Structure 1
């Protein structure tokens, strides 16, 4: 059996390990990435230090997952985190591509909040290429957008810290402690330890840099050593920067041996955790200067050569003479911007055309509605006037009928009154005849005389019944209304009310009822009491209302 070459075996193992690590990440603790963005980040962080490519694949899957879920914010965040991983391993072209892809996605989705981390990281990469104006422009754009969203209540004050921190760290890299201090103060102003306790350690790191630049070397060292255990536990890759700055402080304190030790620790951390590889040329440059000052020329030369190799490998486009990568990317971005502007212009023209068509439609619709409204108003007025005319005609007709009825009633009442007067005269004649017959001289038999008297009395009672019948027929509602309001009135009271309604005098009533005038007055008085009338109220006018 032929022997399998050792070198090929090692290459095979290294090609399998990342996939094995990724599968372990998916199966560990029974959790598969995909439930939330935080879980994706947690899974990616577990493998990033050992296998950055596995972390990149995780973020790619995260991006695809959130894109399917139409979660633009987390899709953009996945691309940004992928760009950060690419940046740590100095693959700037891929990092830059992911950031522009994220920015275009956020722009298409019109998600302003998603643009903030993209602007921050674009600013960071421009600063790596020593393009200060472009870097600061992106930072200020992110800050302005954050403040606008904060004013609308769509962002918390804590989220402003990331913008201020980016500016602070950039000014640190530009060796501008004064501006770094300004933005560090802003960070502390908006920082809320209850929401993000980890940020405090990064801010303390920036404070140590400013203290060092202020000549407070021991204070800077104390701060750096106090936060080192936290970074070792939670973000070991950041120790590359931490150890480098400890070495810088020792070098300023004229302790080259200690400085050399921490520069080497920084290089070890970078190699171990595959983090901040872009910073290693700077570390070798500082080691070269340290060895040169110490007179160790071979080590100084080797460190300088290593610095140049790494700088050529990682930052070929960041050199003063060759920045082709970023320039090409800028041309690509500008071309994309031109295409997007052309599409926007075409869309704008379409929208303007649609707006003109919509305006014409609205004008036609408004004119039609106005015309229909006018027709409706005219028709409504016509129907209303017609209805009012009909109502007026009916009202006048009713008034005429009522007037005719009243005139008829008055006529009947006058006839009834005249008839009553005739009956009174007749009753007076019969009364006189009755009196004379009662005083007969014996020429008429007594039985015939009594029979005649009874006939006369019966005739008077019959006359009243006929009068009452005629009165009721003429004044149909009189007794109904009277009984409704005054149900306790006697038969005699009702007779008196009827005669008073005919406007007969007390004397005429007395003759008609066959009683004295004083009795009529007494009955009228009693009737007023039953009707509960005051002295000022006329009995005749009161009964005329019924």
Structure 2
């Protein structure tokens, strides 16, 4: 959840402005009176900057940073970043103000999902806060780092920095700043689906934020309402909270937050069974997000698609899909992996219901690819985290060594009568350090050589493995082909044998004397279900064909799937008729019926391509 301190920042910035002339004084009052309107605030700030020659550098820096905050409210992160970075140039000689500018920049980076840049800006802020001796600022920066790790789904690090922030802010006695960090803790519980704990914390901090009723209060209302929705506790209270937030964001012209509130309100209406109101709210939020080109429009679109598919409005869902695909050509609207996976799940279903089999297959394949890629990325991230932990431990050990060395040097400097001894000890210490460095570099070189040798061996093993896998794949294909031939041959022989026996029974010469024998033969034939034998053998050859078909077209019966199995083997109509005990005309009718069931109508080539494509 975005952490905004806009109202508080305005008060801090403009209470210390000197009224060098009446016009500056007038502009300061205008800025304070329009604090809830980003466009007006931005306009008066630019007017104020025309008097830069009469303003202190810190005031100019704060003004630029505040302009960046207004662009942030208007969902224009690029412009926000430009002005916030410009603010840094004017506060470089003033550590406390410089730290605040870095912290604002860190918040902007996080809102734009630039998490590494946000973490770096937060570390820069901590360095400046420490230089200024401001522990409360350090606590706020730790809280911002926790927000980044929360968005990056690294709960352990998020909790680690939240504990640091809470410990510092408790000592400072700032109720508001402590509430902001506790809000981040609630967000952590919320993101980990612990809605009960999150709800309890939100209820504790909302009265604190209600004293100002700024952005933080209404943003917290959004999360609180969603907790109520997830817990299925009080839909009416959730509805009222979201309406209050929507009206407030509309008044403050914070459109992105406003449409988030409307989208959440639509979900509440779905839970309450108010389908018409839900669809109207979804449509408003969906259109509104696209009008402001918000990156979060993708989340709203996925929610809307899920609703339309559940209401069988597949044509409208198709239009939403095309609009999403067109919009993601923009860098600003680019999907991340999680959003695209959610989107593709809905697209596969919509395409399938609209009979767009080829597009459904393409979306299905892209979905599988993304899931595999995401798993690989997560494994890589864990590896990097382990490396970082190792490096931190190593650096900690080095710092301890350096600390002890410094203490030794200080102690020796205090002994004036042992200057000669101090020089000798220093020489020995330097010699020892050189020896350690020499041995370390020698060991490092040795390890590098061993690593190169290990990589070469691994490469050789991998090549051998790939060659073996290729041979195994060819062997499997050959065995599969032989099994298919064997299956068809055995099945046809059994079917022909059955037909010959029936033909002998029907053409027997002595009807009376062979009646008993004919009945016994028919009973014997009835006890052998050759179709079940065929089906069992087919699954051995193509184990996933039937499962894929049933997953894509859940309306197919078991008999329909069985019929597709025979088509997969490219049996003739006469062979299929013999196996199923029906006429060739009935086989053709069944093909037509099956194509209609999966939405392909008269598209014979498309149907054959589908059967051939599935494994």
The normalised TM-score by structure 2 is: 0.46
Tell me how far apart the structure 2 counterparts of residues 337 and 38 of structure 1 sit (CA, whole Å).
Answer: 35
Separation in structure 2 between the aligned mates of residue 54 and residue 23 of structure 1, nearest angstrom: 12
Q: Does 1:119 align with 2:142?
A: yes
Which one of the candidate residues 265, 268, 271 is aligned to 1:246?
265
**C-alpha distance in 1 between matches for 2:374 and 2:299:** 13
Structure 2 spans left out of the alignment, 5+ residues: 1-39, 329-333, 341-369, 420-615
What displacement does 1:244 show? 2.1
1:252-293 CA distances to partner (integer Å, 9 max, x unpaired)? Answer: 122344334333433444444455x2x444323322321221
Q: Deviations over 1:43-101 (max 9, x none)?
A: 22333426422221211122333232232xx3333223223323333333433443344
Matched, 1:57 2:82: yes
Matched, 1:183 2:204: no
Q: Distance in 2 between matches of 1:187 and 1:110?
A: 28
What's the CA shift for 1:159?
Answer: 1.8
Give the Cα separation in 2 of the matches to 1:36 and 1:238: 29
Tell me: CA distance 1:338–1:103, structure 2 relative to 1, closer, same or farther (3 Å). Answer: farther
String of CA shifts for 1:104-143, please: whole Å, max 9, x gaps.
5556766532332332232223222333333233223221
Structure 1 unpaired stretches of 5+? 1-20, 151-155, 365-546
Within a 5 Å distance, the mapping from 1:147-166 to structure 2 comes to: 147-150=170-173, 156-166=174-184
Q: In 2, are the aligned partners of 1:224 and 1:246 still within 8 Å (CA)?
A: yes
Q: Is the 8 A contact 1:63 1:76 kept in 2?
A: no
Counterpart-to-counterpart distance in 1, 2:385 and 2:44: 37
Contact residue 109 and residue 117 of structure 2 kept, 8 A: yes
Partner of residue 220 from structure 1, selected from 204, 227, 238: 238
- Of 284, 287, 304 in structure 1, the residue corresponding to residue 301 of structure 2 is 284
Displacement of 1:301: 6.3
1:321-377 residue CA offsets vs partner (Å, 9 max, x unmatched): 42489668757965874685366335413421233225535999xxxxxxxxxxxxx
More divergent stretch after superposition (213-222 vs 178-187): 213-222
* Equivalent residue, structure 1, for 2:115: 92
Q: Does the 8 A contact of 2:263 with 2:285 survive in 1?
A: yes
Q: Which of the residues 105, 126, 132 maps onto 2:155?
A: 132
- What per-residue deviation string (whole Å, max 9, x for no partner) do you get for residues 416-458 of structure 1? xxxxxxxxxxxxxxxxxxxxxxxxxxxxxxxxxxxxxxxxxxx
* Match in the other structure for 1:348: 403
Question: How is 1:353-392 mapped onto 2 (pairs within 5 angstroms)?
Answer: 353-358=408-413, 360=415
CA pair 192-47 structure 1, distance change in 2 beyond 3 A: closer
1:295 to 312, 325, 343: 312
Q: Does 1:35 align with 2:59?
A: yes
In structure 2, the CA distance between the partners of 1:142 and 1:204, relative to structure 1 (3 Å rule), is same
Q: Distance in 1 between matches of 2:380 and 2:92?
A: 29
Paired residue for 1:145?
168
1:209 aligns with 2:233: no
Offset, 1:225: 1.3
In 1, the alpha carbon distance for the partners of 2:219 and 2:289 equals 18
After TM superposition, give the deviation of residue 36 of structure 1 in Å: 6.8
Q: Distance in 2 between matches of 1:187 and 1:346?
A: 44
Q: Which structure has the larger Rg over C-alpha atoms?
A: 1
Go from structure 1 to structure 2 and tell me whether the alpha carbon gap of 1:139 and 1:202 turns closer, same or farther (over 3 Å shift). same
Q: CA deviation at 1:186?
A: 3.1
CA contact (8 A) 2:62 2:87 kept: no
**1:402-417 to 2 correspondence within 5 Å?**
none
Aligned counterpart for 1:83 among listed residues 98, 106, 115: 106
- Compare 228-237 and 202-211 and name the one that shifted more: 202-211
> Is the Cα–Cα contact under 8 Å of residues 162 and 185 in structure 2 kept in the other structure?
yes
Residue 415 of structure 2 aligns to a residue in which SS?
Answer: helix
Contact 2:199 2:228 in 1 (8 A): no
Offset of 1:165 from its aligned partner? 1.4
Shift of 1:174: 3.5
Which residue in 2 is equivalent to 1:233?
251
* Residue 266 (structure 1) aligned with residue 269 (structure 2): no
**CA distance in structure 1 between the partners assigned to 2:270 and 2:375 by the alignment:** 28
Would you say the 8 A contact 1:79–1:102 is kept in 2?
yes
1:280/1:310 contact within 8 Å kept: no
Once residues 391 and 132 of structure 2 are traced to their aligned partners in structure 1, the CA distance between those partners, rounded to angstroms, is 17
Distance (Å, rounded) in 2 between the aligned partners of 1:325 and 1:24 = 46
Question: Aligned pair in 2 of structure 1 residues 304, 252: CA closer, same or farther (>3 Å)?
Answer: farther
- Name the residue aligned to 1:374: none
The CA distance in 1 between the partners of 2:380 and 2:281, in whole Å, is: 33
Distance 1:58 1:336, change over 3 A: farther
Corresponding residue of 2:68: 44
Alpha-carbon contact 2:62-2:101 (below 8 Å) kept:
no
Please say if residues 164 and 186 of structure 1, whose CA atoms lie closer than 8 Å, have aligned partners that are also in contact: no
